[in-house]
A and B are shown apart, each in its own frame.
Chain A
Amino acid sequence: MNPPTIRPREWTPGPRRTKYERWVELLEACIWKPRTQSWLMRQLGLKTQMIKEDLQFLLEAGLFIQVDEPEAGIYVFKTTEKGREALDQFYTLVTQFFTDTPNTKSAVWFLLIG
């Protein structure tokens, strides 16, 4: 089954993302098939030092698994079941946000008092 893809056209990742945003992107990028470090760096626009720190955390936390042994400097990573659960929590957060009906009264209140 092909993954449903909704990536925006001509999307360029922002350079000032937090580590939480990078973790979600990494978990999402590796959920359907294993990806190499260079693919992730290129696709997500991450610097070497940054991706190393992120991968280290994800691997040690058990959210990522290194599928192959490093051979000739090639590393392949995949999201684990635990990582998928973490990602599900993120999607739940998104769904909750969109299912909550915007309250006009509170929007006006926020507008007035900040």
Chain B
Amino acid sequence: MFGMYIVMLWVVLLVAMMGLPLPLLSIAFVIIIIPILIAPLQYKSAKERFETLQQAGAALKEIEDILDETHVASGLASYIFLIFDVLRPVESQEDSDSGDEVENVRKHLSNLTTKVISEVIFQGVIYTILFVNFLIPEFISAIEEGGALLFPMIFLGVILVILVARWFIFLYWRVLVRRWLRFYQGFIAWGEELERIFSKTVNDHNGRASL
């Protein structure tokens, strides 16, 4: 998903550096606008995932008091596992062993980290070039002169604000995911311990493994 934003930034940068004539500028704007048109769909998906986490977090906070009294609340696991569904890499479609699955999630997160760090640096440099060398001086100039470039400049400004906002949302999401991943790993460790203890019990009892 981030790939197209990189392309988009390069087009913006190209437009800024080359001072393209109007027909080429129009083509450049069409290329720029495509990711913006797709953005609502991406926003919808991201919003759903955020809402899931928020809903789960709020419900689990509420349930803490109840847990002290009864230790059991029907449906708690639903929230937790709904979050685990969000954490799993999308490309992994097949059922797998729990160990492999956690390993897949770890790799997924690790790849995501590398991706985020490189994008943070790369996009940061481009934003700086755009704002300092082009957008701010040109915007001031367009306001002063009231020229034809005022509208495209505002448009470019809006695009950059969207990109920067998305950048920070992604960073926030990244921190949130790391926290949940640690819990997921803790849960798997609990499951492994449960399996070890009870498989041993079953073996001692039956002389054979249960699974």
Contact = CB atoms under 8 A, between A and B. Distances in A.
A49 B202 CA distance: 20
Contacts, number: 161
B210 A61 contact: yes
A28 B67 CA distance: 13
Contacts of A14: 81-82, 84-85, 88
Interface residues of A, number: 50
A11 B78 contact: yes
Range for the number of chain B residues in contact with chain A = 35 or more
A4 B94 CA distance: 34
B175 A6 contact: no
Interface in A30-86: 31-32, 53, 56-57, 60-63, 84, 86
Contact of B178 (A20, A57, A86, A110): A110
A87 B82 contact: no
SS of B interface (majority): helix
B211 A53 contact: yes
Interface string A85-110: 01111110111011100100001101
B211 A91 contact: no
Interface of A: 3-8, 11, 13-21, 23-25, 28-29, 31-32, 53, 56-57, 60-63, 84, 86-91, 93-95, 97-99, 102, 107-108, 110-112, 114
Interface of B: 52, 55-56, 59-64, 66-67, 70-82, 84-85, 88, 92-96, 98, 101, 109-110, 113-114, 116-117, 171, 174-175, 178-179, 183, 186-188, 190-192, 194-195, 198-199, 201-202, 205-206, 210-211
